[in-house]
Chains A and B, each alone.
Chain A
Amino acid sequence: ETGVTQTPRHLVMGMTNKKSLKCEQHLGHNAMYWYKQSAKKPLELMFVYSLEERVENNSVPSRFSPECPNSSHLFLHLHTLQPEDSALYLCASGPRCSAGGLNYEQYFGPGTRLTVT
């Protein structure tokens, strides 16, 4: 149990649907991340939030829309996805980067397996 939960665990949606992925962390961290994991590709960092402010957006299509209402919750809103968006979406949290910090590891949730039909 890593203290990061994600719901739903599995999601099947049509290309015209709108759905949201939810992530919640109970570790007192103030940075949260969305990753996309596809077969035979390295993990792709999608978004980074630090203290509820988006600090990084790695050229992710606008059909993915993140929301971070507070430091414990992170959402990924999905709209008009494509079949190639089918993947495992991982949420992670970690301590905010600072000059004094040494532990930069991230703690992952179990992921949401997304299938776009």
Chain B
Amino acid sequence: AQTVTQSQPEMSVQEAETVTLSCTYDTSESDYYLFWYKQPPSRQMILVIRQEAYKQQNATENRFSVNFQKAAKSFSLKISDSQLGDAAMYFCAYRSALIGAGNNRKLIWGLGTSLAVNP
């Protein structure tokens, strides 16, 4: 069974600085998707960035980028030029790309990292 581990329950960063959130996962599959979701205090979960495992290029969305190391099963999120609005819980999630009943419906979630942004 797949698992997702976020080893940093809490992180903090100074405004305008860069922070990296860690995520590792365990799977025997070769094709899958990885996601970072953000859940601000308002509680609405928002997709930040996604990565297809078959792509070698790291995904980037404005100030958010990932460092995807497939061999190491690592999927870290880098937030550049941190802003106060980036303060939230960040969840890493895995989803199988296998076609079949149940396989590609489930997102496997980490426990989350609470990010504080200090002014």
Are B47 and A40 in contact (CB-based, < 8 A)? no
Number of A-B contacts (CB under 8 A): 55
The interface residues of chain A lying within 8 Å CB-to-CB of B44 are: 2, 108-111
B32-65 interface code vs A (CB 8 A; 1 in, 0 out):
0101010000111111001010000000000000
Interface size class of B (residues with CB under 8 A): 20 to 34
Are A105 and B50 in contact (CB-based, < 8 A)? yes
A74-104 interface code vs B (CB 8 A; 1 in, 0 out):
0000000000000010101000010100111
CA A76 – CA B101 in complex, angstroms? Answer: 23
Are B45 and A90 in contact (CB-based, < 8 A)? yes
Are A104 and B95 in contact (CB-based, < 8 A)? yes
**B residues 49-84 in Cβ contact with A at 8 Å:** 50, 52
Are A106 and B52 in contact (CB-based, < 8 A)? no
A61 within 8 A of B: no
Question: Shortest beta-carbon distance, B53 to chain A, in Å?
Answer: 12
Chain B contact residues, CB within 8 Å of chain A: 4, 33, 35, 37, 42-47, 50, 52, 91, 95, 97, 99, 101-102, 104-111
Question: Shortest beta-carbon distance, A68 to chain B, in Å?
Answer: 14
CA A44 – CA B87 in complex, angstroms? Answer: 23
Interface size class of A (residues with CB under 8 A): 20 to 34
Q: List 25 A-B contacts (CB under 8 A).
A: A2-B44, A40-B111, A41-B111, A42-B110, A42-B111, A43-B91, A43-B107, A48-B105, A50-B105, A56-B102, A56-B106, A92-B45, A97-B105, A103-B50, A104-B95, A104-B97, A105-B50, A106-B107, A107-B47, A108-B37, A109-B44, A110-B42, A110-B44, A111-B44, A113-B43
Chain A contact residues, CB within 8 Å of chain B: 2, 31, 40-43, 45, 48, 50, 55-56, 88, 90, 92, 97, 99, 102-111, 113
The interface residues of chain A lying within 8 Å CB-to-CB of B43 are: 88, 110-111, 113
CA A53 – CA B107 in complex, angstroms? Answer: 19
The residue from A31, A41, A45, A102 contacting B107, defined by CB atoms under 8 A apart: A45
Are A102 and B45 in contact (CB-based, < 8 A)? no
CA A31 – CA B95 in complex, angstroms? Answer: 15
